[in-house]
Amino acid sequence: MSPTTDQTADSAPLRSPLAGSADADIPQANYDVPRGDVAVILNANAGRAKRSLIRTIRKACPEALVFWTRSLDEAQDAIESALESEVTTVFGGGGDGTIIDLANRLLHFERAPRLGILRLGTGNALASWVGAQTVAADLKAWSRGDAFCELPLRLCAAEGESFPFAGLGWDAAILNDYRWVKDRLRGTPLESKSQHLAFYFASAFGRTVPRIATEREAPLATIEVLDGEAWPIDRFGTARGSKLQAGEVLYRGAAFMTAFGTTPFYGYNLRMFPHATALASHFQLRVSSMDIATTVNELPRIWTGDLEHERLGDFLVSAVKISYDRPVPYQVGGEARGLRTELIVRLDPDQVPVLSFA
């Protein structure tokens, strides 16, 4: 597949060094200015992805190679074409699932370009992390030569795939119901609106909450440390209690939700993992045994990442085994993965350099 534009830049590529360990949502890094060729890979199936977007991109960043992809095979072809053109930066647009897939594909190349994240599609957790604005605003910033920094997108790994966030339990159940609502709206006048937060809440309170409110007992989870050290943290990220070593049980008890991530946000700016970037060697794991009434009541503080509750546990870990006493829903980066009773999650040793104008 050929790009829709075919222009090149005269300047040679210059890679800025990766940021080291992170100590904030967007860690400090060396700044650079745009050099070299740039490509934009769009997922045609994403929310808000319309053909008119190509005209917007051409106007904002005339030098960009633009790829309009409709399948995973076309996405792979686009990446290979971009690499053959020796681009230094690839912007991806299409929601978290698209960005995660693109990041995984770039990991297979030894000299892969940095990744820019465009705010397009549903959720946009990663776009929130890098401070992405609109598609036009970010590409205009590139074309103007605005300074940017590179951040290391660290990833968790489980079952052969790498991702910045995932979860077991209620969050995956809500996601499944949201997908159900979006499927029912496909082909209707409301389809273009279905990615809005209002529809996410409608699916949660219209389907998920009534169903899980009837659960008499929470699933029981056991979480074991597999490698390295792990420890509980408070809402400020301060370690509390003793460090646990490989083979020790980190948590055993009721768990309506077990979630984990290397970046702070779930979709819609929900700060699920406020301390995910605290250490380059660890990711954040969160376990909740709060019932549905308590969860709904505390939703504002959950959203901002400020909640501390006796039935909410936060941990920094590098490798864990999560076991449930019965099957629970599982989601990866906002994509449903069915049911699981056991999952091994580790910090992926590889990382992808991502661009931030913030």
Give residue 35's pLDDT.
Answer: 77
User: Whole-prediction pTM value?
Assistant: 0.82
Tell me phi and psi for residue 72, to 5 degrees: -65, -35
Q: How far is it, in rounded angstroms, from Cα 207 to Cα 201? A: 10
**Looking at this protein, which amino acid is placed at residue 45?**
N
Other beta carbons within 10 Å of 198:
9
Asked if 243 and 231 touch (Cβ cutoff 8 Å), the reply is yes
Q: Which two tokens stand for residue 176?
A: 């499944």
Asked if 328 and 169 touch (Cβ cutoff 8 Å), the reply is yes
CA nearest neighbour of 166 among 357, 347, 351, 8 = 347
78-104 burial code (b ≥16 CB/10 A, e <16):
bbebbbebebbbbbbbbbbbbbbbbbb
Q: Which two tokens stand for residue 271?
A: 């700060």
pLDDT tens, position by position, for the chain (358 residues)? 434 433 333 322 222 223 333 344 444 456 787 877 999 999 887 766 677 888 999 999 999 999 999 888 999 999 999 999 999 999 999 889 999 999 999 998 888 899 999 998 777 899 999 999 999 999 999 999 999 999 999 999 999 999 999 999 988 777 776 665 666 667 776 666 666 666 656 666 666 666 666 666 889 999 999 999 999 999 999 999 899 999 999 999 999 999 999 999 997 889 999 999 999 999 999 999 998 889 889 989 998 999 999 999 999 999 999 999 999 999 999 888 989 999 999 999 999 999 999 8
| Domains, the chain | 31-154 (3.40.50.10330), 161-349 (2.60.200.40)
Alpha-helical (H) ranges within 117-161 are 125-129, 135-144
